[in-house]
């Protein structure tokens, strides 16, 4: 049941040097990959490019075939209501049950902002959030 | 433990050195009398054969290197009478003129004797079938191994290089027990054998390999031994010294350099002075019994160390450790000598990274800064930045432990560093020279 709420994210290893992002963006364009949201994590010398895309499994195979070092990772998509405290609720619920948010990034979705989070235990996080009445998006909702 | 020539191989150090001194005196007298080149050179530096009283006096003699051989192409350094020369080997001149090495009957005899002793020291004998897959021809590898194996009384399969599938068939069908070739060719052979469905452990009698003619590491040795179920013996030599000459014994604890044939010194490449026993430096070879082409204090360019400590096998001659690098490849970082081969060795021990790397050296104010770029193994990639950072720290820590120099490590995308088909240029020295 919680599996339906898992969003597949693509993580790509990149050298931290000029032109590297352009190279990945070019490959994405050439392969016709539609990017919903992305984020770059940088650690001196290298970085990880993370993206939420349409049809992640197909995109994953295409990027692999282009010799990129890519992994599929699981994230959760939480729609953000445009009112104070929206983020607090979700974060507080997870904090209470001891689930750690490793990172997160936002995207302005079709029907409002979406917050993508990566946690140390995706399945428990989804259960906990749903049990607390927090709405989560599925892949088809993006 | 079998010996080819037990009296000589187990002779006490003192006696070996006495023999070396006698042979050195004879050699120096011979070149002074017979070689115009050496006579002139010795006059120039003011040394006479009578000045060689102890082994330490060898330092009075000038050193020579490959340039001397090239400059005297083809045969101006050869002192034997033309009718006494029975063979020539010629090295390929990738960086200039080729070098020519002439041999008398005794030169070939001593070369074969050296290898027969070495082969015996790791268990080969007349019952063995030795496939020589080194190149035959002007290159001294193939024929050198061939004569050594024949001297031993083994059956030789002179396969030379190429025709890998046929080579594998021969190993199977002729019940070959040992093979001489380069480590990279043996690895290639193992891959081809696998694709042919031939299992070296069960389908052949191969028990050992005699590997040399290119740098290789302990990691590669373990890999070969585990994969093929054989003993992989390191062999040392060089065309100028005759060809392949010495190997390790069963103990695999250094190459036994026969002191009655060859005198090896270890010097500091910068000052030219001897380093202490067991210390690393540049190898300098004197071939004590050479008749055709004298090789005296020859700076071969290899960096290693020797020990006179008696080997567990009972042999007393000096042992040469694996070559750590070439003098030409050495980089000095904050006064410490660093060899790319050391970096390669460290990286080979860490499974999260590959063997594709580059070394960058920059000036950081008055200091030197060394950066190692290494490609991440795709299997080790994770979305977790902390894990990736930990891999980088692990590599940096291991390099620091081995090199005694602080190294910045950059993890790189697989495929992003240059690939080298021939001689690898993995060092980029961008230091500003004042």
Q: What is the CA radius of gyration of chain A?
A: 16
CA angle A82, A85, A91 (to 5 degrees): 115
Q: What is the pLDDT of residue B133?
A: 95
Cα separation, B296 vs B308, in Å, equals 21
Q: What is the pLDDT of residue A43?
A: 78
Burial of A51 (0-12, 13-18, 19+ CB in 10 A): buried
Torsion angles phi and psi, residue B187, rounded to 5? -65, -40
In a shared domain, residues A34 and A66: yes
Q: What is the pLDDT of residue B218?
A: 87
In a shared domain, residues B169 and B241: yes
Nearest CA among B216, B235, B240, B217 for reference residue B300: B240
How many CB atoms are closer than 10 A to CB B425? 11
In a shared domain, residues A34 and A85: no
Per-residue tokens: A22: 């352009």
In a shared domain, residues B350 and B275: no
**Which residues in chain B are closer than 8 Å to A46, comparing Cβ atoms?**
376, 388, 410-413
Per-residue tokens: B360: 């960058």
Q: How confident is the model at residue B418 (pLDDT cuts 50, 70, 90)?
A: confident
Chain A CA closest to residue B380 = A69
Q: What is the pLDDT of residue B327?
A: 83
Element at A138 (helix H, strand E): none
> In which residue are the tokens 């021939």 written?
B422
Q: What is the pLDDT of residue B164?
A: 93
Q: How far is B371 from chain A (nearest CA, A)?
A: 11
Cα B197 to its chain centre, rounded Å, is: 33
Tell me, yes or no, whether B17 lies in a domain: yes
Torsion angles phi and psi, residue B359, rounded to 5? -115, 125
In a shared domain, residues A31 and A87: no
The pLDDT of residue B198 is above 60: yes
Nearest CA among B209, B230, B189, B214 for reference residue B132: B209
Name which of A16, A41, A45 to mutate to probe chain B: the one with the most chain B Cβ atoms within 10 A of its Cβ: A45
In this prediction, residues B411-417 reach a mean pLDDT of 89
Name which of B383, B390, B392 to mutate to probe chain A: the one with the most chain A Cβ atoms within 10 A of its Cβ: B383
In this prediction, residues B110-134 reach a mean pLDDT of 98
- In the listed set B329, B350, B371, which residue is the last one of a domain according to the structure? B329
In a shared domain, residues A80 and A130: yes
Q: What is the pLDDT of residue B426?
A: 86
Cα separation, A26 vs B227, in Å, equals 42
pLDDT per residue as tens digits for the range B55-108: 999 999 999 998 899 889 999 999 999 999 999 999 876 556 789 999 999 999
The CATH number linked to A82 is 3.30.2130.10
- Cβ B376 vs Cβ B392: under 8 Å: no
The residue segments making up the domain with residue A125 are 75-141
Measured between CB atoms, which of A20, A43, A68 is closest to B385?
A43
How many CB atoms are closer than 10 A to CB A31? 14
Cα separation, A115 vs A103, in Å, equals 10
Q: What is the pLDDT of residue A142?
A: 82
The residues in A 78-107 lying below 8 A from B, measured between CB atoms, are 102
In a shared domain, residues A25 and A37: yes
Instruction: Tell me how many domains chain B contains.
Output: 2
In a shared domain, residues B302 and B385: no
Instruction: Tell me how many domains chain A contains.
Output: 2
pLDDT per residue as tens digits for the range A76-97: 999 987 777 777 888 899 999 8
In a shared domain, residues B325 and B350: no
**Which residues in chain A are closer than 8 Å to B409, comparing Cβ atoms?**
45
pLDDT per residue as tens digits for the range A3-62: 689 999 999 999 877 888 888 889 999 999 999 999 998 877 788 999 999 999 999 999
Q: What is the pLDDT of residue B109?
A: 98
B159-164 contact pairs (CB < 8 A, 24+):
B159/B131, B159/B132, B159/B133, B160/B132, B160/B133, B160/B134, B160/B135, B160/B136, B161/B133, B161/B134, B161/B135, B161/B185, B164/B188, B164/B189, B164/B192
- In the listed set A74, A96, A119, which residue is the last one of a domain according to the structure? A74
- In sequence order, the 6+-apart residues with CB closer than 8 A to the CB of A132 are A89, A93
In a shared domain, residues B46 and B183: yes
In a shared domain, residues B24 and B82: yes
The residue segments making up the domain with residue B299 are 1-329
Q: What is the pLDDT of residue B216?
A: 84
Cα separation, A22 vs B294, in Å, equals 61
Cα separation, A128 vs B56, in Å, equals 82
Measured between CB atoms, which of A11, A15, A69 is closest to B378?
A69
In this prediction, residues B249-268 reach a mean pLDDT of 97
Tell me, yes or no, whether B21 lies in a domain: yes
Name which of A8, A15, A17 to mutate to probe chain B: the one with the most chain B Cβ atoms within 10 A of its Cβ: A15
pLDDT per residue as tens digits for the range B6-46: 999 999 999 999 999 999 999 999 999 999 999 999 999 99
In a shared domain, residues B246 and B378: no
- In the listed set B296, B329, B362, which residue is the last one of a domain according to the structure? B329
A83-89 contact pairs (CB < 8 A, 24+):
A87/A115, A89/A132, A89/A134
In a shared domain, residues A62 and A119: no
In a shared domain, residues B37 and B123: yes
Cα separation, B295 vs B290, in Å, equals 7
- In the listed set B329, B364, B379, which residue is the last one of a domain according to the structure? B329
The CATH number linked to B194 is 3.40.50.12780
**Helix, strand, coil % in chain A, rounded to nearest 5:** 35, 40, 25
In a shared domain, residues B101 and B125: yes
The residues in B 372-401 lying below 8 A from A, measured between CB atoms, are 376, 378, 381-385, 388-389, 392
Q: What is the mean pLDDT of chain B?
A: 93
């Amino acid at each position: 049941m919680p599996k339906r709420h898992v969003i597949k994210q693509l993580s790509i290893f990149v050298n931290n040097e000029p032109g590297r992002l352009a190279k990945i963006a070019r490959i994405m364009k050439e392969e016709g990959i539609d990017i919903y949201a992305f984020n770059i994590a940088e650690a001196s010398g290298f970085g990880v490019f993370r993206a939420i895309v349409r049809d992640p499994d197909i995109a994953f195979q295409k990027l692999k075939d282009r010799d990129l070092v890519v992994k599929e990772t699981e994230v959760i998509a939480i729609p953000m209501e445009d009112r104070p405290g929206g983020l607090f609720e979700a974060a507080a619920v997870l904090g209470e049950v001891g689930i750690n948010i490793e990172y997160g990034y936002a995207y302005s979705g079709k029907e409002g902002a979406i917050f993508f989070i990566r946690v140390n235990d995706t399945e428990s996080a989804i259960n906990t959030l749903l049990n607390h009445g927090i709405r989560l998006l599925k892949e088809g909702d993006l | 433990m079998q010996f080819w020539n037990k009296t000589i191989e187990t002779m006490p150090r003192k006696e070996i050195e006495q023999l070396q001194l006698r042979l050195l005196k004879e050699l120096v007298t011979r070149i002074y009398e017979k070689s115009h080149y050496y006579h002139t050179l010795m006059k120039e530096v003011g040394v006479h054969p009578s000045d060689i009283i102890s082994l330490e006096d060898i330092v009075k003699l000038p050193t020579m290197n490959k340039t001397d051989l090239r400059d005297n192409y083809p045969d101006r350094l050869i002192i034997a009478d033309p009718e006494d020369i029975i063979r020539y080997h010629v090295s390929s001149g990738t960086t200039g003129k080729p070098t020519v090495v002439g041999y008398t009957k005794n030169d070939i005899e001593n070369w074969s004797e050296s290898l027969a002793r070495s082969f015996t020291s790791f268990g080969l004998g007349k019952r063995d079938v030795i496939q020589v897959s080194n190149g035959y021809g002007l290159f001294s590898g193939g024929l050198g191994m061939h004569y050594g194996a024949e001297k031993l009384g083994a059956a030789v399969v002179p396969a030379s290089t190429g025709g890998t599938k046929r080579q594998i068939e021969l190993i199977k069908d002729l019940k070959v027990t040992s093979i001489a070739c380069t480590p990279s060719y043996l690895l290639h052979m193992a891959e081809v054998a696998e694709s042919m469905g031939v299992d070296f452990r069960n389908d052949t009698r191969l028990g050992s390999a005699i590997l040399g003619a290119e740098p290789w590491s302990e990691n590669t040795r373990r890999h070969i031994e585990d994969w093929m179920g054989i003993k992989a013996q390191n062999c040392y030599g060089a065309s100028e010294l005759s060809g392949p000459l010495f190997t390790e014994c069963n103990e695999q604890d250094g190459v036994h350099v026969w002191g009655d044939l060859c005198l090896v010194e270890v010097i500091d490449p910068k000052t030219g002075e001897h380093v202490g026993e067991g210390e690393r430096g540049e190898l300098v070879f004197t071939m004590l019994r050479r008749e055709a082409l004298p090789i005296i204090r020859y700076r071969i360019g290899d960096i290693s160390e020797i020990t006179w400590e008696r080997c567990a096998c009972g042999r007393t001659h000096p042992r040469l450790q694996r070559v750590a690098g070439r003098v030409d490849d050495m980089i000095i970082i904050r006064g410490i000598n660093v060899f790319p081969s050391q970096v390669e060795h460290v990286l080979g021990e860490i499974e999260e990274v590959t063997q594709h790397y580059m070394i960058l050296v920059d000036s950081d104010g008055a200091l030197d800064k060394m950066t190692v770029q290494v490609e991440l193994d795709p299997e080790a990639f994770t979305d977790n930045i902390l894990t990736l950072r930990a891999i980088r720290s692990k590599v940096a820590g291991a390099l620091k432990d081995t090199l005694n120099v602080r190294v910045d490590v950059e993890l790189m995308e697989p495929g992003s560093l240059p690939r080298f088909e021939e001689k690898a240029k993995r060092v980029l020295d961008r230091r500003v020279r004042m």
